[in-house]
A and B are shown apart, each in its own frame.
Chain A
Amino acid sequence: MNQSLTPPCWHCGQPAPSGAFTARTPEGSRDACCPGCAAAIETIYGMGLDDYYRIRQDEAPAPDARRAELDLALFEIPDLLAPHCASLPDGERLQLQLSGLTCAACSWLIEKALSTQPGVSRASVNLAGMTLTVDYQGAPQARETARRIQQLGYGVSLPGDPVATAANRREHKRLLGRLILAGLGAMQAMMYSMALYIGVFDGSDAVYEWVFRLASFFVATPVVFYAGWPFFQGAWRGLRNRNLTMDTPVALALFLAWGGSLVAMFTGGSHVYFDSAAMFVFFLLISRWLEHRQRQAINAGYARLGDTLPRAVRRLSGDQAQWVSLRQVAAGDRLLLIQGDVVPVDGRIIDGQGTFDEAALTGESVPISRGLHSCLVAGARLQEGSITLQAECAADHSQIARISEQVELASRERLDVIRDWHRIAPLFTAAVLLLAAFTLLWHWPAGPGEAFDHTLAVLVITCPCALALAVPLTLSATLGTALREGVLVASPRQLLRLPHIGGALFDKTGTLTLGRFSLVDTQVAGEGQKADLLAIVSALEWNNPHPLAQAFRDIARNPQMTDILPDGNGITGNLQGQQWRISGAPQQARPGTTCLQLSRDGAVQLYLWLQDSIREESAAVTRALRQQGLAVRMATGDNDAAAGPVARELSLEEWRAGMKPADKTRWLKELQTTTTQMMVGDGINDAEAMLAADVSVATANATSLAQRAAGLYMLKDNLQAIPALPALARRCQRTIRQNLTWALLYNLLAVPFAVAGWVPPWAAAIGMSASSLLVTLNATRVTRWKSSSC
């Protein structure tokens, strides 16, 4: 293949064969890889924002021209916009979701570009959440804003459910506030108590002791009752439902420590325990905070996934097409679809014909041509042509909607499994309360004051702090490490199952293969050099959005080609007076491939065979999994001819072709009767099997439905991280076990002493903190894990 060295695109860094597209700037011309990038460069220079290119830390995303129009359509439908608008005194505020931001330079660029839009009074980007807030004077001009963002090469869409987002933000802020207060208060209380513990004051300085006690009362009280409020709430809720939760002994210990100290302060008791109470709250809040952050990171990951189906569709009324939201579509509506659109609802073609990419639905890698009266399933992508579709049902009754519902349900359940260990909570709690009561009764003869001291020591020492921190901290560290390796873990439970997996079931199209076509063979039919002919093909296919055209992206183009025009079934162009045409040649296609022909003035010059080729790393990944003792299998919806070569090249244990989604699930369940299974896939057709699998992994190029169905999904478009994951999971498990063992051992050892009355409460508080600290440090060791070290 003739592949000359190509300079990178000035904007996105992808190869840009010179002469392809150039952007004119005051500093000379810049190479671009596509018209979108060229426009972005000119826009940025035109606005005087070229500093962006000097300061950015990462290359910009390539604008996706195909999606641009559809994305903009969202901003024309008032129904869709309304939930994201809020009114201000002199205008409106709009929230938008951005994508493709790589560093702070991107957010600066967007803010600048929007600040010159008429009617915009303020635009601010939140890089962490990739959200944009725009304030308008008067009515929002959302479409213009979106268009400007797109021109710069970024993606823009409407954010998820605004009510849930706002509630989540409020909870996040409240928890952070509690944590800050508890941290500051606990440190202060500790400081005052230290003076009391080490006995600076003898009898003569009673007034100073009183001042110190009063000071620690002042700092600890808000900590206990404001920061510690969730524990009282939880305990109360538990009691009302006749349920013992971990919160019960915590709330009891807090109240006893605080109330007892207050009594001791006024009755001249020997000790106050305000510091113990405050430290207690602080440590427990840290654990809550970590859990919360984990949940948020997972939610944010979900929010950034695109939609499987378009949210806006062109509905025909008479001959007029009008953008409406998908939810408004009813059975019988006529919808207009053009090249690149995704079929939004199950229906039937009533006008026109087209080629459809159904890979996500069926796994078939070759696009299928469908004509008048054919049935279409929502989720297929129209590759070529334009059609009118008659909807057979409302959008939420499409086949895909049923799968989406299952997936949503599963992903919601998943967020709660972090709290799995809470099942042991009632037992633990009951044991602690019994012990405390026993201690109180046992020491009662020695006087209520002493009995109280010892009971408090038992409650503090049995605090599930270290126990509570052990699991969330380790998981948090592991999830962070996985993220660094390019894997987002939506279900920690699935990650922990990985070491015990017995087999892996892979999808073919888009998972083991790239899911896009590349040139595998050519045959010169006339005279002429292959390289010259390929340059002509490349020139013809250059600006074609068809997936087959991508195969020629990296081939140098013949720059003299003019009048390039698509003509329905192919593309024609003019080169030195001769007419060249590239078109399909289905009669020459070999099994599993698609064939194209290049002709000059009607005479065929070159045949080209294209195939969905195997990923570079697939062989290494499947080999590594086999070495770990997994049986690697493949289930595909594609035909035998396309699947066979792939399975043989990767020497898979077993493979089945022509499988419908339900067949995949059935086979997976069959395999699960002997050993646990991992499912790796990318399509809507894999979603069902992924939900049934013990561990499910979605590739980076997967449809968002599959990503939502998966417990783990890859952020980088390769499979390399998969074989390393079981090792990370084992490491995580080992750390959790160490932490739990330590926490339990400490509790079991210390409790008898506390019950016997040999541990003063302050020592119990220090022991508890040290134990928590140890657990924390042990958990952070996981972040140093590297995939190469296994």
Chain B
Amino acid sequence: MEIVLLLIPLALLFLAGAIWALFWALRKDQFDDLDNASWRVVFEDREQRKGLPTSKEAADHDNERNS
């Protein structure tokens, strides 16, 4: 039974961690749009397979051309 004296504080620590993580996610707008993120994976995958530049590279390229 002595192990309870260690496990309970440990469980409380885990709980504190979980709550901190959830609040972090909330602050970072992770719960704002649940549909979009799940699809983004599909698009980015297709892009990479086609060897297209990612959006960031494309933007840089465009900026160079325009400047």
Contact = CB atoms under 8 A, between A and B. Distances in A.
Are A and B interaction partners? yes
3 A-B pairs closest in CB distance: A104-B39, A115-B55, A118-B66
B33 A115 contact: no
17 contacts: A55-B43, A104-B38, A108-B40, A111-B55, A112-B55, A115-B58, A116-B55, A117-B62, A118-B67, A125-B36, A127-B35, A127-B36, A128-B34, A181-B19, A211-B4, A211-B8, A215-B12
A278 to B, nearest CB: 12
Contacts of B19: 180-181, 184
B12 to A, nearest CB: 6
A550 to B, nearest CB: 34
A446 B3 CA distance: 39
B15 A104 contact: no
B35 A188 contact: no
Interface on chain B toward A: helix, strand, loop, or mixed SS? helix
B39 A108 contact: yes
A58 interface: no
Contacts of B15: 184, 188, 219
Interface of A: 48, 51, 55, 103-105, 107-108, 111-112, 115-121, 125-129, 173, 176-177, 180-181, 184, 188, 205, 208, 211-212, 215, 218-219
B59 to A, nearest CB: 5
Nearest to B23: A177
Contact of A51 (B32, B47, B59): B47
Interface on chain A toward B: helix, strand, loop, or mixed SS? helix
- The size class of the interface chain B forms with chain A is 35 or more
Contacts of A55: 39, 42-43, 46
Contacts of B4: 208, 211
A295 to B, nearest CB: 18
A549 B58 CA distance: 42
Contacts of B31: 176
Interface in B1-29: 1, 4-5, 8, 11-12, 15, 18-19, 22-23, 26-27
Contacts of B5: 208, 211
Contacts of A51: 43, 46-47
A218 B12 contact: yes
A184 B22 CA distance: 11
B14 to A, nearest CB: 10
A120 B15 CA distance: 41
A112 B46 CA distance: 13
A219 B36 contact: no
Given A111-B55, A180-B26, A208-B4, A116 B62 contact: yes
A654 to B, nearest CB: 48
A127 B15 CA distance: 32
Interface string B34-56: 11101110110011000010011
B64 to A, nearest CB: 10
A205 B52 CA distance: 67
Contacts of B22: 177, 180, 184
Contacts of B52: 48
Contacts of A125: 33, 36
Contacts of B40: 104, 108
A116 B58 contact: yes
B18 A184 contact: yes
A128 B33 contact: yes
Nearest to B40: A108
A120 B11 CA distance: 46
Contacts of A176: 26, 31
Given A118-B66, A211-B5, A104 B18 contact: no
> Which of B4, B36, B42, B63 counts the most chain A CB atoms within 10 A?
B36
Contacts of A105: 39, 43
Contact of B8 (A48, A108, A184, A215): A215
A115 B59 contact: yes
B61 to A, nearest CB: 8
B36 A107 contact: yes
Contacts of B38: 104
B25 to A, nearest CB: 9
Contact of A115 (B35, B42, B56): B56
Contacts of B36: 104, 107, 125-127
Given A55-B43, A105-B43, A208-B4, 9 more contacts: A48-B52, A55-B39, A116-B55, A118-B63, A128-B33, A177-B26, A184-B18, A208-B1, A208-B5
Nearest to A214: B8
Given A104-B36, A120-B59, A205-B1, A219 B8 contact: no
Contacts of A118: 62-63, 66-67
A212 B43 contact: no
B33 A126 contact: yes
A184 B18 CA distance: 9
B48 to A, nearest CB: 12
Contacts of B26: 173, 176-177, 180
B32 A126 contact: yes
B30 to A, nearest CB: 11
A176 B59 CA distance: 36
Contacts of A181: 19
Given A107-B36, A127-B36, A219 B12 contact: yes
Contacts of B23: 177, 180
Contacts of A108: 39-40, 43
A128 B1 CA distance: 50
A208 B5 CA distance: 8
Contacts of A127: 33, 35-36
Nearest to A215: B8
A266 B8 CA distance: 20
B35 A104 contact: yes
B35 A128 contact: yes
A115 B43 CA distance: 15
Nearest to B55: A115
Contacts of B56: 115
